[in-house]
Amino acid sequence: MAASRDPNPRTATSEATLRAAGVTVELGVEQEAADELNAPFFKFIRTGMPYVLCKMAMSLDGKSATAGRESQWISGPEARAQVQEWRATYAAVMVGIGTILADDPSLTCRIDGAHFPVRVVLDPLAQMPPGARLFAHPGRVVIGVGPEAPEVAISALEARGAEIVRLPARPKERTADGVPGEFMSCADSVGGLRAESPGRTGAESTDGASEYFIGYPRYVTRGVMVTDLLRSLSQGGVSSILLEGGGGLNAAMLREGLIDRVAFFVAPLLIGGRSAPTPIEGRGFAPLSEAVRLRSMRFRGVGSDILVEGDLESPES
């Protein structure tokens, strides 16, 4: 008995081989549960791209931090324990440079005996401080940098053992309302680490449309840069990613169709504030008919929080 067919071409003849040998084969036993369990593997085999779970914690009124960018901790200890279980399951954990500069996370798995996931950072200008906590633990650290990243900063990161993925840039796109590209909501949330990219200052702007804050572009290229990073990770054997980024990175990956499933912890808090960040920033989706819809929704209590999960509908759905 088998729940699902293996999409790997290498095993395409397995069923026929068994039947030819006189073995009775029954397929589809608990297939729905098996397909959900194997979703990361199936996507990786069929598309060559990693499966991405986007995890976020937010208040009941939809805020992922206060207006002053305080976010530790919105969710409770049980929710944070669930995140550790995901880190033990997924091949990689991914964040943007804003999360590194604001929180200086280690992105490790704290479950005894569990593997250390590959730690991935999208860092277009190579602003990662060489003293970041990521480098204090064993395991792979992969940093995606853009063409404007200073070579001296890249060399410093390589000296700490980071694997550098050089990503091509895509010209910024200006929307109908004049907003260029995607908004990466990290530049104004720096509170933990100081960026140390040589050659960058807080006042720089390349075209008059982008704002810079300690050298980090508030508006960055849409998606292609992230897509190329994920493609490189896939080629290196990374089949699944737990996305723990901020609203800007989430927005960019969502718009490029890179997210497969979302898991939002909703905490019993009301934060308020027009300038307080949300889990999905960017310019959003409009009209409403273009909003991303979810299917296979699930809701369950995790400590004092509610975990809301759902799969993103594919264009064919």
The answer to whether the annotation marks 99 as part of a ligand binding site is yes
Asked, for residue 317, whether it belongs to a domain, the answer is no
157 with 136, same domain?
yes
Residue 63 identity (one-letter amino acid):
K
pTM, entire model: 0.78
Mean pLDDT to the nearest integer, 193-211: 38
57 is in an annotated binding site: yes
- Is residue 57 domain-shared with residue 19, that is, in the same domain? no
- What's the CA gap between 265 and 286, in Å, rounded? 25
The predicted model gives 18-26 an average pLDDT of 69
Domain enclosing residue 221, as ranges? 48-312
Q: Are residues 118 and 33 in the same domain?
A: no
Residue 42 lies in a domain: no
CATH of the domain at 232: 3.40.430.10
Residue 197 annotated as binding site? no
What does the pLDDT read at residue 207? 34
Tell whether the model's pLDDT for residue 187 goes beyond 60: no
Q: Are residues 172 and 248 in the same domain?
A: yes
Annotated ligand binding at 110? The verdict is yes
Which residue, chain included where needed, has tokens 């980024």? 245
Helix (H) or strand (E) holding 57: strand 51-59
Question: Hunting for tokens 């737990």 — which residue is that?
Answer: 242
Q: Kindly state the average pLDDT of the residues 62-86.
A: 91
Instruction: Give the helix, strand, coil percentages of the chain, each rounded to 5.
Output: 25, 20, 50
Give the mean pLDDT of 198-212.
36
- Say yes or no: 247 and 299 in one domain: yes
86 belongs to an annotated ligand binding site: no
**158 shares its domain with 258:** yes
**73 within some domain:** yes
| 126 part of a folded domain | yes
State the total domains in the chain: 2
Name the nearest CA neighbour of 223 among 157, 178, 283, 148.
283
Same structural domain, 62 and 21: no
